[in-house]
Amino acid sequence: MQIDIITLFPDIFFGPLGESIVGRAVDKGLVKINTVNLRDFTYDRHRTVDDKPYGGGPGMLMKPEPLFEAVESLRKEDSLVILTGPRGEVFKQKTAEEFSKKSHLIIICGHYEGVDERVRSIVDREISIGDYVLTSGNLPAMVITDSVTRLIPGVLGCDESGSDESFSYGLLEYPQYTRPVEFRGMKVPDELLSGNHAAIAAWRRKQAEILTAKHRPDLMDGKQI
Residue 42 is predicted with a pLDDT of 97
Domain for residue 184, yes or no?
yes
The 10s digit of each residue's pLDDT in 27-45 is 999 999 999 999 999 999 9
Q: How confident is the model at residue 25 (pLDDT cuts 50, 70, 90)?
A: very high
CATH classification of the domain holding 75: 3.40.1280.10
Domain for residue 159, yes or no?
no
Count of domains forming the chain: 2
The last residue of one of the domains, among 117, 149, 181, is 149
| Percent of the chain topping pLDDT 70 | 93
Residue 157 is predicted with a pLDDT of 77
pLDDT: is 14 or 65 the higher one? 65
One domain, residues 71 and 95: yes
One domain, residues 141 and 187: no
Residue 158 is predicted with a pLDDT of 61
User: Is 111 in contact with 74 (CB distance < 8 Å)?
Assistant: no
The last residue of one of the domains, among 149, 176, 210, is 149
The average pLDDT across 84-93 equals 95
One domain, residues 9 and 116: yes
User: Is 86 in contact with 138 (CB distance < 8 Å)?
Assistant: no
Domain for residue 158, yes or no?
no
One domain, residues 85 and 49: yes
The 10s digit of each residue's pLDDT in 95-128 is 999 999 999 999 999 998 999 999 999 999 999 9
The last residue of one of the domains, among 120, 149, 178, is 149
CATH classification of the domain holding 186: 1.10.1270.20
Q: Which domain holds residue 72?
A: 2-149
Q: What residue ranges in 78-190 does DSSP mark as E strands?
A: 79-90, 104-108, 125-128, 182-183, 186-187
One domain, residues 189 and 98: no
One domain, residues 144 and 170: no
The 10s digit of each residue's pLDDT in 138-181 is 999 999 999 999 999 999 976 555 556 556 578 999 999 999 99
Q: How confident is the model at residue 220 (pLDDT cuts 50, 70, 90)?
A: confident
Contacts of 85 (CB under 8 A, 6+ apart): 110, 114, 115, 126, 127, 128, 137
Contacts of 75 (CB under 8 A, 6+ apart): 81, 106, 122
Residue 108 is predicted with a pLDDT of 98
Residue 163 is predicted with a pLDDT of 56
One domain, residues 124 and 207: no
Q: Is the pTM of this model over 0.75?
A: yes
